[in-house]
Chains A and B, each alone.
Chain A
Amino acid sequence: MNLWFSEYHAPDVRHSLRVTRHLYSSKSDYQQIDIFDTPEFGKVLALDGDVMLTERDEFIYNEMITHIPMSVHPNVQDILVIGAGDGGVVKELTRYESVKRIDLVEMDPQVIEACRTYLPENACKLDDTRVHIYFDNALRFIRRSSEEYDLIIVDSNDPFGPSEGYFTREFYGICYNALRSDGIMVNQQGSPFYKHDAEAMQRSHKRIVNTFPISRVYQAHIPTYAAGYWLFGFASKKYHPINDFDEERWKSLHLSTKYYTTKLHIGSFYLPAYLEKMLMEVES
């Protein structure tokens, strides 16, 4: 069988994966959800036709969005995770014993249901007793919180669909308000390579810079995302991602990782010249 899944990374660029089996396809109240099997990347979750995760490279995204803030903040106890219905982020976070509570806010119950059934390796920690799942609009949920969390992780889809609200000034503002005085917010920040993505990345960076006293961008190589090159935003009320990074403390936890290392932690904040320029344009 010669069945291919294609995703537009830019209007004139497509990324294609050969599909061996379509495991799940359903239209929820919010989006089209698909899970399919591929020879190279294993099982793939796509929302509205955009790849969210693949079994083969999910570790890069999930490690980088969690271990960076967890190794900077000295005492993370209460965490809010937005989106992330596949459970990959939660799986990494539950490895830290210091964590007391993980509130996960996902608007679409069907994503979690589908991932529990078809991506159990990812979703396996959603039943951890520290994890509380809320099916709600994140803006609505966070508005009601004030100085309640040490860490907020925004694991959203791209800013052109139902997740658009998670890239707005008001969203970053209510996240700021929901964090304790030394809290950190980390978000997936898109890709700087293709024009459409780059402009959205600049817009959201500008909004974060206007909201948090410390705002830095770091990078990772993620093969199935646009251009294979992905950014994360590190926004913080107090801790600097490098100056306040305690390498020894994290090493003493003896967590094994496939992508994240303490050296890479620092290196991931060193950005290419064109990207530095794009960020500077909106920082002034």
Chain B
Amino acid sequence: MEKTELDQTRAPIYEALERFREMRVVPFDVPGHKHGKGNPELTAFLGEKCVGVDVNSMKPLDNLCHPVSVIRDAELLAADAFGAKHAFLMVGGTTSSVQSMVLSCCKQGDKIILPRNVHRSVINSLVLCGAIPVYVNPDVDRRLGISLGMSREHVRKAIAENPDAVAVLVNNPTYYGICSDLRAIVKMAHDAGMLCLADEAHGTHFYFGDNMPVSAMRAGADMAAVSMHKSGGSLTQSSLLLIGENVNERHVRQIINLTQTTSGSYLLMSSLDISRRNLALRGKEVFRKVIEMAEYAREEINAVGGYYAYGRELINGDSIFDFDPTKLSVHTRDIGLAGIEVYDILRDEYDIQIEFGDIGNILAYLSIGDRIQELERLVSALAEIKRRYKKDPDGLLSQEYIDPEVVCSPQKAFYSQKKSIPINESSGFVCSEFVMCYPPGIPILAPGERITKDIIDYIQYAKAKGCSMTGSEDPDINNINVLV
């Protein structure tokens, strides 16, 4: 398929799988369940149609490691739909997209400029490649207790102080929907000879909806990791990695193949293909409805009182350069409940599962699959929680950004000799592992950072409020690994 004849109504992988189904090929290859016949319980659970296309690479279906036919065509269509030079179909989650993105441009000892409120997958990739993080302190909204975007001045300063850095990484947007001035940051990075990378795990819809923040490709960024399975509607663990003009497609393919499976799932790939087609054909209308629903929910939640469902009014031209209108983030502290407490009550008492609760906020994820009647339930449940549980907010900690002190690279810290000590006695030591609440999965501590009393207090408070803590070897985080 040549670029000149790209037709977004096509879905090459899906079409090839449909043809494959009709050919009734006898399978003497993997997977061993043989179109489900060898695993009737699984087939009964997932359905014959599903297991029948859980197949291996073969000539008519192409090969994800080295695509030349239908997967290649699907990638070209995706690149066209997202306005990228090339798009890679990814089957290891957006974690794999983020890691391939970082590994494509950083090697041992290289510096990369990034905000501290990145997803764990970014710092994990620094453990893998040995690059050194240069953190830009994201501004904090004191009232909401959330980290914002990077201000232009902070990025300019970090670039000036680290002219040898190879790349700047930007969240577009953050989990809470907040965007930095991506166009300006791209220009600053390029002027300094650096690449600009975007973590767009929460930004798929920026490429299709009207009145959305600018997407990474449109802003001129060099690479972007896009979670199609979040707002785009594809299956969990499917993702896209996009590249711009400055990046070599073949090099990135080699990097991807370092860690990606050689048995790419056709369920995941076909879901990317079908979802891309849907977004290209109907994305504008779909996301118009999502925005409408989010705006409606914000109005209704704010009418309940006590809660603050925030939106574009936060925009300040810099660290909140733009706001993702599909995000339904609600500040709960003023009713005297931590976000995580509201999150738990919603699930335990109202059978409503939201994306996450942190110390002061909850986030309900709205997407392609939502309907207004479920939003009425969410709003009513929030009204009920306020009526039943409202208390004095005094004594509730407000989340503060804790400026990290990076003592050594994440890789050095991760692989150095370490010992386990009680967390209460760890102040002053250098941490060799992650500590985070999940979700949102933004590290409180990353390998190589100095542990302080503030950080210990924060971890204890989050634990007491019921946050699910992950990352450390000790699942209860009573002990923590530190450098000897």
Contacts and interface: CB of A to CB of B under 8 A. Distances in A.
B343 to A, nearest CB: 15
B387 A170 contact: no
A173 B388 contact: yes
Nearest to B383: A143
A254 interface: no
Contact of A168 (B300, B377, B383, B388): B377
A170 B388 contact: no
A139 B387 contact: no
A155 to B, nearest CB: 18
A169 interface: yes
Contacts of A109: none
A173 B387 contact: yes
B185 to A, nearest CB: 42
A136 B351 CA distance: 23
Contacts of A139: 373, 376-377, 379-380
B384 A174 contact: yes
Contact of B376 (A140, A173, A177, A210): A140
A170 B381 contact: yes
B396 to A, nearest CB: 24
A57 to B, nearest CB: 29
A137 B384 contact: no
B1 interface: no
A39 to B, nearest CB: 37
Contacts of B387: 173, 177
Interface in A138-152: 139-140, 142-143
Interface in A161-210: 162, 164-165, 168-171, 173-174, 177, 210
B373 A165 contact: yes
Interface in B355-383: 372-374, 376-377, 379-381, 383
A169 B381 CA distance: 8
B373 A171 contact: no
Nearest to B349: A169
Contacts of A140: 300, 376, 379-380
B384 A170 contact: yes
Contacts of B379: 139-140, 143
Most chain B CB atoms below 10 A, which of A139, A170, A174, A177? A170
Interface in A99-131: none
Contacts of B350: 168-170
Contacts, number: 55
Interface string B332-361: 000000000000000001110000000000
Please tell me the size bucket of the interface on A.
10 to 19
Nearest to B304: A143
Contacts of B376: 137, 139-140, 165
Most chain A CB atoms below 10 A, which of B304, B372, B387? B387
A276 B387 CA distance: 32
Given A162-B373, A165-B376, A169-B350, A174 B383 contact: yes
A170 B377 contact: yes
Contacts of A162: 373
Contacts of A173: 380-381, 383-384, 387-388
B377 A165 contact: yes
Contacts of A210: 349
A170 B373 contact: no
Contacts of B372: 137
Most chain A CB atoms below 10 A, which of B351, B374, B384? B384
A237 B232 CA distance: 46
A210 to B, nearest CB: 8
A173 B388 CA distance: 9
Nearest to B372: A137
A162 B373 CA distance: 8
Interface string B377-419: 1011101100110000000000000000000000000000000
Nearest to A142: B380
Nearest to A177: B387
A259 B258 CA distance: 76
B202 to A, nearest CB: 27
Contacts of A177: 384, 387
Interface in B277-307: 300, 304
A143 B373 contact: no
Contacts of B380: 139-140, 142-143, 165, 168, 170-171, 173-174
A165 B376 CA distance: 8
Contacts of A171: 377, 380
A137 B377 CA distance: 10
Nearest to B387: A177
Most chain A CB atoms below 10 A, which of B351, B377, B380, B388? B380
B5 to A, nearest CB: 39
A279 B461 CA distance: 40
A146 to B, nearest CB: 9
A165 B379 CA distance: 12
8 contacts: A137-B372, A140-B376, A168-B350, A170-B384, A171-B380, A173-B384, A174-B380, A177-B387
Interface of A: 137, 139-140, 142-143, 162, 164-165, 168-171, 173-174, 177, 210
* 3 tightest A-B CB contacts, nearest first: A173-B384, A170-B381, A139-B376
Given A137-B373, A142-B380, A173-B383, 12 more contacts: A139-B373, A140-B300, A140-B376, A143-B380, A143-B383, A165-B374, A168-B377, A170-B380, A171-B380, A173-B380, A173-B388, A174-B380
